[in-house]
Structure 1
């Protein structure tokens, strides 16, 4: 079975780097590239696009709220139309860079607070997905399963790819455990290997409370700002291959 391995990438700014993006690009099959609002800048975006093109990695826009200091993880009081505009601005910037480099953006994956706000609001989800479709109806929308983003994308006729988060704990409702809670971010190799293998072989996850929940996903996400993200990505890839899977970009997974 083909499985996408994706990571949020290019999340530095200027001379600052969050992880070894260059090495990480050699492990993943899809890159969600920060577009300058929560992280990233034109130089970083261009470097990420060039590397993704050279390695056959799917290029994705990773729009977030305009909050560099808060890394896009703080919810801010923007109107629906302001969030729509911010999203379009970022997708447009990456689309222009990709086109100038002789390639294209293949997917959209919302970052942190922007994604949380859209997923809580059906009207906002419909508005943003309609805007994505207007830009390019071939764009794939990445999302957690059974969310407003997935619902809106399917209703609009867009392709979706659902995610399993290898480095984040789930609660009994299938939601991510907030980052401030102990053990919400998972970095220990044995734990990551066990979670990924359970997902690949059983399509389930063990919640932080110890319950077993089904997980409907075809892509595994590693956050680049998780400590040791490069090693974690390598662990995930090795588990995919050990269990007989093939790591492939989103378009190939959905083909």
Structure 2
């Protein structure tokens, strides 16, 4: 129980983290965009591997939380870099979360055989999938995220899910409502293809009404183009 409370507190702190002047400083200043993309890709790959590493998943410290945040923020930064845009907020958060992930000491290897680690039952937000602009095709990490949810549904006693589609504020309200529904349906289809019953899923279209990052009307924002998988019970 203590470990779960600690992880939830860290998750809340991370979600509200803003880049400070020190964090916003471009430590890759002078590097071209392709080189920066390589640095970010290396951190994303390391964070992705860490979120699948039993040593991180079962560790009694925040390494799994930081690895998850590094994967999310570096993925967002990569999305911007694809269009040759250096988004300093996601870049600084990518570096910060990756450094925190690497700063946590790894446990000593256990020689004796140990039972498999208990599932990580994060009820607050087990799945978060981002989308390209004006697209209802889930991003490249969607399969891994959906696999995490479906594989842990049984061990975590998750029997019902809400799949909520969102858009950024670029486009009309009516179009964005329809687009967010298509995004929610696409993720729900992924879940059913991996064994979750259709009856266990409730898809909801939120359109542009609940942004993850508040913006002015008409602004494109990668973090707002998403589907959230929530546990109902």
Q: Pick the TM interval, shorter chain.
A: 0.3 to 0.5
Higher relative CO (Cα under 8 Å, sequence separation at least 6) belongs to: 1
Tell me the TM-score normalised to structure 1 length: 0.30
Looking at secondary structure, tell me which structure has more helix per residue.
Answer: 2
Between Structure 1 and Structure 2, the one with more strand by share is 1
For normalisation by structure 2, the TM-score amounts to 0.32
